């Protein structure tokens, strides 16, 4: 069953806009994300799922960028900060995923980790994505797949998903994807938080 979290509340937009985090290119977790994008060198059509501030477009201006997020996030955050970009309203709990086949790379930067049904969402992404999927800042561990509640922007309640590695590998095998590249998202801590480049068309 879908659980309502902070991201479903329009109130989160003003809290996001009030934050003063460093730009994506200056963040400590940026190098692994950059490495994944560089490895997908021949591809430029990128769908940034859970785009929020759409920082990926500003950091990589040569990409053919489209951001996807909940309608109130796009209207209240994405278009406020970067109104000239292309956006798609997308609710992972209710909407059709087939539009993802139009893009070379589907990026999920701390998006899958925020969903309340991560295996269902990932399975749908893998079904329709055409070439590459980048997972960034996703917990993949040895415990059973589960959710942990935490406080996000403005102290609102959200969930962090932890995916069991066996569940993850089995899903890749079933959908015909391989792990092209994997590393820790953070150099010195949070060892279960991973960054991965997944490639379609081969067997694990």
pLDDT in tens, 59-78: 999 999 999 999 999 999 99
139-195 pLDDT per residue, tens: 999 999 999 999 999 999 999 999 999 999 999 999 999 999 999 999 877 788 999
73-111 pLDDT tens trace: 999 999 999 999 999 999 999 999 999 999 999 999 999
77 DSSP 8-state letter: I
pLDDT at 203 over 50: no
pTM, two decimals, is: 0.95
| CA 122 remoteness from chain centre | 10
Is the CB of residue 81 less than 8 Å from the CB of residue 108? no
Predicted confidence band of residue 202 (pLDDT cuts 50, 70, 90): low
CA atoms within a 13 Å half-sphere pointing along the CA-CB vector of 53: 18
Compute the residue count for the chain. 204
């Amino acid at each position: 069953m879908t659980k309502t979290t902070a991201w479903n509340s329009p109130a989160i937009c003003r809290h996001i806009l009030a934050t003063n985090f460093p730009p994506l290119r200056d963040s400590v977790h940026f190098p692994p994300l950059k490495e994944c994008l560089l490895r997908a060198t021949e591809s430029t059509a990128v769908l940034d799922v859970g785009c929020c501030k759409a920082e990926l477009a500003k950091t990589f201006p040569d990409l053919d960028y489209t951001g996807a997020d909940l309608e109130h996030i796009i209207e209240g955050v994405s278009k406020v900060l970067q109104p000239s970009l292309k956006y798609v309203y997308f609710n992972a709990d209710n909407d059709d995923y087939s539009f993802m086949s139009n893009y070379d790379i589907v990026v999920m930067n701390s998006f899958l980790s925020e969903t309340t049904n991560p295996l269902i969402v990932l399975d749908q992404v893998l079904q329709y994505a055409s070439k590459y999927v980048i997972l960034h800042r996703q917990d993949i561990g040895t415990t059973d797949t589960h959710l942990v509640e935490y406080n996000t922007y403005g102290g609102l309640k959200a969930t962090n998903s932890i995916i069991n590695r066996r569940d993850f590998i089995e899903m890749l095998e079933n959908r015909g994807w391989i792990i092209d590249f994997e590393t820790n998202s953070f150099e010195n801590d949070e060892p279960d938080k991973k960054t991965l480049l997944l490639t379609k068309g081969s067997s694990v």
